[in-house]
Structure 1
Amino acid sequence: MKQLLNTLYVSTEGAWLRLEGETLVVMIEKEKRLQAPLHHLGGIVCIGRINLSSALMARCMKDGRSIVWLNENGRFQARVEGPVSGNILLRQAQYRAADDLECVLTMARSFVAGKLRNSRQVLLRSSRDSKSDTEKDALKNAAASLAVNLRNLEHAGQLDSIRGLEGDAARVYFGCFNDMLRPSLTDVFQFRTRNRRPPK
C-alpha cells in the first residue's frame, strides 16, 4: 500500500523556508515558527510571497518532493519537481481507458460514489453529535437523499447523468452545512454559498 504523505501549505507573507538537518524550518520575521521532519512531507505549497533556501529546494528535488507556488488569490504560478520516471505502458493504458466510454463511465461512477459515501458519513456523524432534534432530522433526511443518489448512480448510463447526481448531492450536502456547525461557531461563521479564487 502506498503511504500518502502530508502537504505543507505556507501562506504567511514573507515567510522563509530553510533546511535544518533532516527538517524543514519556517521562519517568520527571523523567528522559528515551525519545524517539521522532511520525511513526513510529500509536497510544499507556497501561497503569496514565500522564500525558500536553495538547499531546501535541492533536497526536495532529490527526494522527489514537489514545490508549488500560487499567487495571493490561489492561482497557479509554478511547480518545481526533480527527475521523474514514467511508465509508457501505464500511460498507454490510461489513454486507451479514456477513449473507452464504458471504462470512463465505470470510473466516473466510482469517483462520485466515493464522494457521496464520504459526504453521507459526515452527515450521519453530525446527526449523531447534534443536540438539536430539528438539526438531527435535517441531517438524517439529507443522508437518506444521498443514499438514493448512490442507488441511482449504479444505473446512470451517461456522464451527464452522473454529473447531475453529483450536483444534486452537493446541493443537498451544502444545503444543511450550517446544521453541521457547532452552535458556538454559528455567531462567527455562517455558510451562505460556495465560492472560490480565493475562497472567502
Structure 2
Amino acid sequence: MRRLLNTLFVLTEDAYLALENENIVVKNGEAVLGRVPLLTVENIVYFGYKGASPFLMGECAKRGIGLCFLSTHGRFLARVCGENPGNVLLRKKQYRLSEDEGKSVVFARNFIAGKIFNARTVLERARRDHPLNIDGEKFLLISNDLKAAIKTVRKVTDVDELRGIEGNAASAYFSVLDDLILQNKEQFTFAGRSKRPPIGKVNALLSFAYTLLAHDCASALESVGLDAYVGFMHTDRPGRISLALDLMEELRAIYADRFVVTLINNRIVKSNDFDDKENGVTLLNDKGRKRFLQEWQDKKREAIVHPFLEEKIAWGLVPYVQALLLARTIRGDLDEYPAFLWK
C-alpha cells in the first residue's frame, strides 16, 4: 500500500478493499493491512484479483474518486466512474492541447528531453562503472553530443524538427549499445536497432521490453483518466496508443534498455531462449518469455527515489506517477510536465 499525489496504490495482489466508517480498509483475509481516510484520497489504483466491496465502489463513484482495477502484471481491467466523471473535462482538454501544435510541442519536447537525458545517464554510468571495459573517449564524445541535443530540444517549436533531433540522438545512442554488452558477446551482439521485425536476439529483447513498457504506460494513463490513444508527439493512428508511446520515451533507455543489458551481462537469458525464423526474425520462445517476465516483475518491485517527488517508490510505479504528473499538468495544476530524469 502506497500513497502518492493523493493516490492510493494497493500492490498486495490478494488484498481486498472495503469501506468502514469513512475509511478505506485494506484487508488480507482477516488481517487489516492499513486504513486511509476516504476524504484524503483522489484516486485508488488497485493491482490484484480480489477487488473491492460494492459499498466502496459506490462511494467512490458518488464522490468522484477514481477507482482503477489492474491485473497483478499491470494490465488495465476497469475503472469505476460516477455519473459525472471529472475525467471528461480532463480528456476534452487533452484533445484540445493535442490539436494545438504550439502547446502540444511543449509536452513533446519534455518527453524527448527526458529521453535524451536518460540515454546520456546510461552512457555516463557505463563510463563510471566500467572504465576498463569500454572506450571512454567514444562514450564521452557521444555523451557530449546528447548534452548539446538536450539544449537544442528545449528551444524547438516545431514537432517535425523535434522528431529529427530525437532520431539523430537515438542513432548516436544505439551506436554504442553493443559496447554495453560485456558478457556473452559470442551470442549477443547488437548491430543496430531493427523494429518490425526484430533482427537478432538483442533486438528481440528490446522489442519485448518496449511492448511491456508501452502497455504499462497505457494502463497508467487510463488509470488517471487520460486517453492513451491521443498523443502530443506521436500522431493519431487507429489502434496506436500514441500518448503511451509519448510517455514511455523518457523511460526507454533507463528502464528497458538497461534491463535488457543486465539480462545479457548477468547471463540470465540464454541462446536457447530464442527461436530463429526462416525469414531472419528472432523471437523469444515460451521459456524465454517466462524468464523475461519473471525478471521484469522483479525489476518493477525494486525501490528507487523518484527524482521529482523525492519519495521512495517501486520502479513499477514510475509510469503511474508520471501519468499523474501529466494529468496534473494538463489540468493546469503544474506549469510544465516534469519528465523523469534519472541521475
TM-score range, shorter chain: 0.5 to 0.7
Unaligned 5+ runs, structure 2: 135-139, 174-249, 260-265, 270-291, 298-343
The aligned amino acid for 1:18 is A
Deviations 1:120-160 (A, max 9, x none): 9xx5xx98xxxxx933989xx69756532311313475153
Q: Report the CA distance between 1:56 and its aligned residue.
A: 1.4
SS at match of 1:52: coil
The farther-off stretch of 41-50 and 98-107 is: 98-107
Q: Report the CA distance between 1:21 and its aligned residue.
A: 1.8
The aligned amino acid for 1:26 is V
Q: Report the CA distance between 1:110 and its aligned residue.
A: 3.2
2:10 aligns with: 9
Identity over aligned pairs, percent: 25
Alignment of 1:93-132 (within 5 A): 95=95, 97-113=97-113, 119=118
1:55 aligns with: 55
Residues 74 and 197 in structure 1, CA contact (< 8 A), matched pair in contact too: no
1:199 aligns with: 296
Q: Report the CA distance between 1:174 and its aligned residue.
A: 5.4
1:20 aligns with: 20
Shift of the 23–175 alpha-carbon distance from structure 1 to 2, 3 Å rule, reads closer
2:33 aligns with: 33
Shift of the 165–21 alpha-carbon distance from structure 1 to 2, 3 Å rule, reads farther
Q: TM-score, normalised by structure 2?
A: 0.39
The higher relative CO (CA closer than 8 Å, separation ≥ 6) is in 2
Q: Report the CA distance between 1:51 and its aligned residue.
A: 2.5
1:150 aligns with: 150
2:164 aligns with: 161
**Cα-Cα RMSD:** 4.6
The aligned amino acid for 1:74 is G
Shift of the 165–100 alpha-carbon distance from structure 1 to 2, 3 Å rule, reads farther
CA distance in 2, matches of 1:175, 1:46: 24
**Does structure 1 residue 65 correspond to structure 2 residue 65?**
yes
The aligned amino acid for 2:163 is D
Q: Which one has a larger percent strand, Structure 1 or Structure 2?
A: 1
Unaligned 5+ runs, structure 1: 128-132, 179-188
Shift of the 166–98 alpha-carbon distance from structure 1 to 2, 3 Å rule, reads farther
Q: Report the CA distance between 1:31 and its aligned residue.
A: 0.8
Q: Report the CA distance between 1:17 and its aligned residue.
A: 1.1
CA distance in 2, matches of 1:176, 1:135: 17
Q: Report the CA distance between 1:18 and its aligned residue.
A: 1.0
CA distance in 1, matches of 2:256, 2:89: 43
Shift of the 114–46 alpha-carbon distance from structure 1 to 2, 3 Å rule, reads same
Q: Report the CA distance between 1:105 and its aligned residue.
A: 2.9
Residues 10 and 46 in structure 1, CA contact (< 8 A), matched pair in contact too: yes
Shift of the 51–191 alpha-carbon distance from structure 1 to 2, 3 Å rule, reads same
Deviations 1:44-97 (A, max 9, x none): 222231231222112212221111122343221111122225559x93x75454
Residues 46 and 70 in structure 1, CA contact (< 8 A), matched pair in contact too: yes
Q: Report the CA distance between 1:101 and its aligned residue.
A: 3.9
Q: Report the CA distance between 1:191 and its aligned residue.
A: 10
